[in-house]
Amino acid sequence: MMGLAPVQHAFADKMTEVTVGYSKSPLNGSVLSGGPKPGVRVVPIAGQTPVGSGKSRRFGLFAKSSAAVTGLLERFSTVLDPELRSPFREDGLWLVRPDGYVACAAAAGNESVIARYLAEQL
Protein backbone atom coordinates (compact mmCIF):
# COMPACT_ATOMS: atom_id res chain seq x y z
CA MET A 1 0.00 0.00 0.00
CA MET A 2 2.78 2.45 0.86
CA GLY A 3 4.04 2.21 -2.73
CA LEU A 4 0.88 3.88 -4.05
CA ALA A 5 1.18 7.65 -4.63
CA PRO A 6 -2.27 8.52 -3.16
CA VAL A 7 -1.45 6.60 0.02
CA GLN A 8 1.96 8.29 0.27
CA HIS A 9 0.40 11.75 -0.14
CA ALA A 10 -2.32 11.06 2.43
CA PHE A 11 0.27 9.72 4.87
CA ALA A 12 2.52 12.76 4.36
CA ASP A 13 -0.41 15.17 4.84
CA LYS A 14 -1.42 13.48 8.10
CA MET A 15 2.10 13.29 9.47
CA THR A 16 2.91 16.96 8.73
CA GLU A 17 -0.55 18.03 9.93
CA VAL A 18 -0.99 20.50 7.05
CA THR A 19 -4.54 19.23 6.56
CA VAL A 20 -5.54 19.71 10.20
CA GLY A 21 -8.24 22.32 10.79
CA TYR A 22 -10.15 23.62 13.76
CA SER A 23 -13.46 24.76 12.27
CA LYS A 24 -15.40 24.01 15.48
CA SER A 25 -12.84 25.36 17.97
CA PRO A 26 -14.01 27.61 20.82
CA LEU A 27 -11.01 29.81 19.93
CA ASN A 28 -12.67 30.81 16.65
CA GLY A 29 -14.26 34.22 16.28
CA SER A 30 -16.37 35.85 13.61
CA VAL A 31 -16.50 34.70 9.98
CA LEU A 32 -16.29 36.71 6.76
CA SER A 33 -17.52 35.10 3.56
CA GLY A 34 -14.77 34.87 0.98
CA GLY A 35 -11.26 34.23 2.20
CA PRO A 36 -10.04 31.80 4.83
CA LYS A 37 -12.46 30.92 7.63
CA PRO A 38 -11.63 30.74 11.34
CA GLY A 39 -9.95 27.45 12.17
CA VAL A 40 -8.29 27.14 8.74
CA ARG A 41 -4.50 27.12 8.56
CA VAL A 42 -2.96 29.99 6.61
CA VAL A 43 -0.22 28.75 4.31
CA PRO A 44 2.96 30.81 4.77
CA ILE A 45 3.50 33.23 1.89
CA ALA A 46 6.87 33.26 0.12
CA GLY A 47 8.89 36.31 1.10
CA GLN A 48 6.90 36.94 4.29
CA THR A 49 7.81 35.98 7.81
CA PRO A 50 5.35 33.24 8.89
CA VAL A 51 2.84 34.31 11.53
CA GLY A 52 3.99 33.35 15.01
CA SER A 53 7.65 32.89 14.14
CA GLY A 54 10.46 34.70 15.89
CA LYS A 55 11.30 35.23 19.53
CA SER A 56 7.85 36.41 20.61
CA ARG A 57 4.95 34.51 19.08
CA ARG A 58 2.28 37.04 18.12
CA PHE A 59 -0.96 37.21 16.19
CA GLY A 60 -0.73 38.37 12.58
CA LEU A 61 -3.08 40.94 11.07
CA PHE A 62 -3.93 40.70 7.36
CA ALA A 63 -5.48 44.05 6.41
CA LYS A 64 -5.05 47.20 4.36
CA SER A 65 -3.40 50.03 6.24
CA SER A 66 -5.76 52.59 7.75
CA ALA A 67 -5.97 54.77 10.85
CA ALA A 68 -8.18 52.16 12.56
CA VAL A 69 -5.77 49.33 11.72
CA THR A 70 -2.83 51.39 13.01
CA GLY A 71 -4.84 51.91 16.19
CA LEU A 72 -5.25 48.14 16.56
CA LEU A 73 -1.52 47.58 16.09
CA GLU A 74 -0.75 50.19 18.75
CA ARG A 75 -3.43 49.11 21.24
CA PHE A 76 -2.48 45.44 21.06
CA SER A 77 1.25 45.85 20.46
CA THR A 78 2.11 43.17 23.02
CA VAL A 79 0.19 40.45 21.15
CA LEU A 80 0.03 41.71 17.53
CA ASP A 81 2.99 41.43 15.18
CA PRO A 82 3.84 44.98 14.02
CA GLU A 83 4.24 43.66 10.44
CA LEU A 84 0.93 44.28 8.66
CA ARG A 85 0.24 41.68 5.97
CA SER A 86 -1.79 42.02 2.79
CA PRO A 87 -5.45 41.02 3.19
CA PHE A 88 -6.79 37.93 1.46
CA ARG A 89 -9.52 40.16 0.02
CA GLU A 90 -9.37 43.95 -0.35
CA ASP A 91 -12.48 44.53 1.78
CA GLY A 92 -11.57 42.30 4.73
CA LEU A 93 -9.50 41.90 7.88
CA TRP A 94 -8.12 38.58 9.14
CA LEU A 95 -6.53 37.88 12.49
CA VAL A 96 -4.26 34.82 12.46
CA ARG A 97 -3.20 33.10 15.67
CA PRO A 98 0.49 32.48 16.39
CA ASP A 99 -0.03 28.82 15.43
CA GLY A 100 -0.95 29.90 11.89
CA TYR A 101 -4.72 29.34 12.08
CA VAL A 102 -7.29 32.06 11.38
CA ALA A 103 -8.78 33.34 14.63
CA CYS A 104 -11.46 35.63 13.20
CA ALA A 105 -12.33 37.78 10.21
CA ALA A 106 -14.33 40.95 9.63
CA ALA A 107 -15.22 43.40 6.90
CA ALA A 108 -12.83 46.31 6.43
CA GLY A 109 -14.02 49.21 8.56
CA ASN A 110 -15.20 46.82 11.28
CA GLU A 111 -11.93 46.70 13.23
CA SER A 112 -13.91 46.54 16.49
CA VAL A 113 -14.52 42.83 15.79
CA ILE A 114 -10.77 42.19 15.85
CA ALA A 115 -10.31 44.40 18.92
CA ARG A 116 -13.09 42.58 20.78
CA TYR A 117 -11.57 39.18 19.95
CA LEU A 118 -8.12 40.24 21.16
CA ALA A 119 -9.52 41.85 24.32
CA GLU A 120 -11.37 38.63 25.18
CA GLN A 121 -8.18 36.58 24.74
CA LEU A 122 -6.07 38.74 27.06
pLDDT for 12 equals 43
pLDDT for 11 equals 46
pTM of the model: 0.79
Where do the domains of the chain lie, and which CATH numbers do they carry? Answer: 22-121 (3.40.30)
The residue type at 34:
G
Residue 7 and residue 63: Cα distance in Å, rounded? Answer: 38
The model's pLDDT over 71-105, given as tens digits with 9 standing for 90+, comes to 999 999 999 999 999 999 999 999 999 999 999 99
pLDDT for 5 equals 55
- Across the beta sheet with 92-96, the strand order is 60-62, 92-96, 102-107
Residue 71 and residue 74: Cα distance in Å, rounded? Answer: 5
Q: Mean pLDDT lowest for which of 1-5, 20-24, 48-52, 72-76?
A: 1-5
